[in-house]
Structure 1
Amino acid sequence: MHSDIDTAPITLQPATAELRPVIEQLMELFRHDMSEFLGHLPDADGRFGFSRLPLFFDEPEREALVVQCGTAPAGFVLTRRMDEGATSISAFFVVRALRRRGVGRHVALQLLRTRPGAWGIAFQEANSGAARFWRGVATAAVGPENWHEETRPAPTSSPVNLPEDQWIFLDTSR
């Protein structure tokens, strides 16, 4: 454990090609956490994997960002452009050692405030921590009256029957 965990600066920066293996490893932790809500099981090799992760490094409408706590990797954010023009937070992960310390909120608000525009954030209602977190972030970012929620079916491309997604939509350019 890092001794400077409470004093190290928290930063969010684009993930370079050199950081791709770090994001890949952190993705395993994220997919493990999400397996509780999405029913994902690891592959035969014991890895969860995420076949779409390379798209976040290769496609111009997608981006991988790394969260750093000082010099230590502390999480990641994946974003992509949605068909309706908003930017979606496709995945958001902070390591357990930094949860409930305000790190996730800090990172989410930094992302939303430094990139003004329309945003869409999906989560599963069964994940009560994520639901509470994202509703709080939306309210902090734009106020309680300036965001709304929609329920949308999960993508049909998945081999697993996924639950519906709850979406928060907000615009930080106002």
Structure 2
Amino acid sequence: MSPAVRPVADDEWGIVAWLWQDFRHDLGTVVGGFPYADGRYQHAWLDEYPRPDGAGYLVWQPHPNTGEDAPVAFATVRGVGTGTCTMQAFFVVPAARRGGVGRWFARAVVARHPGTWTVPFQHDNHAAAAFWRRVAAELWDDAWVETEEPVPGKPDLAPDHWIRSTLSP
């Protein structure tokens, strides 16, 4: 069976919250992130969902031990309906990486929301940089730019990188 991408249902945001902790754990080495006193990593962005101008997606595929559908990736998007969407969060569980699921998923999410796109990632997140540059080239050919922008309120950090498409896919 192939993986399936579906919008996050109202009763599935708890699943995204579990995966979010993996996502933030992965970023911990890049952003120097520690869990807070309750044992959870930063989740303020996730707490904004569901939101009127947002969308969330999960990728499901059969679990190798049970065959039951299991979530292997999620994405959150803001700016839906505005003409420019932002990939606010994107995560593929480590066991599902390197097989093309991430690129397939990124293309599927972008295809659902016509218009231009922005994709931010941290300066020191080299895996994300390589991934998103490759995806941008596949989606937009040479109709994208990458800029560096200061992290708001954190002048001591390296700037974030932003990929911006200059036309719709």
Please indicate, yes or no, whether the TM-score normalized by the shorter chain is above 0.5: yes
Query: Structure 1: which 4+ aligned runs deviate by more than 3 Å?
Result: 160-163
| CA contact 1:113–1:172 (8 Å) conserved in 2 | no
Cα separation, 1, equivalents of 2:167 and 2:43: 29
Cα separation, 1, equivalents of 2:160 and 2:49: 21
Deviation for aligned residue 1:98: 0.6
Q: 1:162 to 1:69 in 2, by over 3 A?
A: farther
Identity score, percent: 34
Structure 2 stretches lacking a partner, 5+ long: 63-68
Name the counterpart of 1:18: 11
- What is the identity, as a one-letter code, of the residue corresponding to 2:34? L
Provide TM-score, normalisation by structure 2. 0.87
Name the counterpart of 2:150: 153
- What is the identity, as a one-letter code, of the residue corresponding to 1:149? E
Q: 1:78 to 1:161 in 2, by over 3 A?
A: farther
CA RMSD of aligned residues (A): 2.1
1:60-71 alignment, distance < 5 Å: 60-70=52-62, 71=69
Name the counterpart of 1:170: 165
Name the counterpart of 1:40: 33
1:47-126 alignment, distance < 5 Å: 47-57=40-50, 59-70=51-62, 71-81=69-79, 85-126=83-124
Cα separation, 2, equivalents of 1:64 and 1:161: 31
Name the counterpart of 1:141: 139
SS in 2 for 1:56: coil
Q: 1:81 to 1:114 in 2, by over 3 A?
A: closer
